[in-house]
A = this chain, B = another copy of it.
Amino acid sequence: MEPWRTAIVDARDGEIRIRGNDVTALMTERTFTDTIFLLHRSRLPSPQERRMLDAILSGCADHGSGAPSCATARLAISGNRASVSAAVAAGILAVGDEHGGAGSGCMDMIRAGVERAKLEGISFGECAARVVGEHRAIGKRVAGLGHRVHTKDPRTPVLFELAKQNGLSGDGIRFMQAIGDEVAKQVKPMTINVDGSLAAVLYDMGFEPVFARLLFIISRSAGLTAEVMEELERERPMRIRIPVTYDGEGGSTPSESE
């Protein structure tokens, strides 16, 4: 088999280099957030870029034990007490377009919208109006808006304000805000959720859309480890009983779960 090629890590006896940076220097002088940025951008971040990543990473680490990712991890460790790796992995498997991963689709929408506004020579407001109208015409939900808990997602104004303070606010945030305004006008006011705001910020920082989901996974891995630990320390195995009603053939009364 031919060796695999990689440009990420060069490890040899006594030396480990990540994207050309000696790991001992990273360990001594840098933060984990710097290393995350370095791994994905092949350079170290500016203090402003690091601030933004830290804000997103802290903002998405955990949102309650009942979120699909956290609940999945807790159910897994409840039945399979021996492997914390398995439980954290199970939690990550619940991350997708519907949970934690909407930022990637939102970045696609932002990129397309910004490019379209420039190409067609229209304002972001006008472009957003068209985009929202087109979503409505085919009955598609606009990405990055609404939250099942928050009327106003508290993380969004923080991200937008930090981006402004750190000189990283650009077309992405402006376009996403235009989208929010248009949905309020054409449908009803809906909060720009954290998927929407981190998508706008990451777009302005020059990341690819898929990174929104990857960053959420890194962030949530921290929360998942804590959720798994709490389940292990505070609860007995198999304590979770999801109530189930059978409504299929031949059924009549509520049944019990295993």
Select one of B1, B39, B257 contacting A11, CB under 8 A. Answer: B257
* Chain B residues with CB below 8 A from A152, complex form: 13-14
Q: Are A9 and B154 in contact (CB under 8 A)?
A: no
Residue in A24, A36, A54, A90 whose Cβ sees the most chain B Cβ within 10 Å: A90
Stretch at the interface among A76-84, A123-131, A171-179: A76-84
Select one of B5, B16, B229 contacting A63, CB under 8 A. Answer: B16
* Chain B residues with CB below 8 A from A27, complex form: 54-56, 58-59, 155, 158-159, 162
Residue in A1, A78, A93 whose Cβ sees the most chain B Cβ within 10 Å: A93
Q: Are B75 and A72 in contact (CB under 8 A)?
A: yes
A107 at the interface (CB under 8 A from B): no
For A225-258 the 0/1 string (1 means CB < 8 A from B) is 1111110101001101111111111110111111
Residue in A4, A248, A257 whose Cβ sees the most chain B Cβ within 10 Å: A4
What bracket does the count of chain A residues touching chain B fall in?
35 or more
Q: Are B7 and A230 in contact (CB under 8 A)?
A: yes
Q: What is the minimal beta-carbon distance from A11 to any residue of chain B, in angstroms?
A: 4
Q: Are A222 and B36 in contact (CB under 8 A)?
A: yes
For A58-87 the 0/1 string (1 means CB < 8 A from B) is 110111111111111011101111111111
Q: What is the minimal beta-carbon distance from A224 to any residue of chain B, in angstroms?
A: 8
* Chain B residues with CB below 8 A from A229, complex form: 40, 210-211, 214
Q: Are A79 and B63 in contact (CB under 8 A)?
A: no
* Chain B residues with CB below 8 A from A32, complex form: 31-33, 36, 53-54, 57-58, 61, 219, 222
CB neighbors of B among A1-44 (8 A): 1-20, 23-24, 26-28, 30-36, 39-40, 42
* 3 shortest interchain CB distances as A-B pairs: A66-B257, A80-B96, A7-B248
* Sample (11) of A-B pairs whose CB atoms are under 8 Å apart: A3-B254, A4-B244, A31-B31, A32-B57, A65-B257, A76-B94, A80-B98, A82-B82, A84-B217, A85-B92, A99-B258
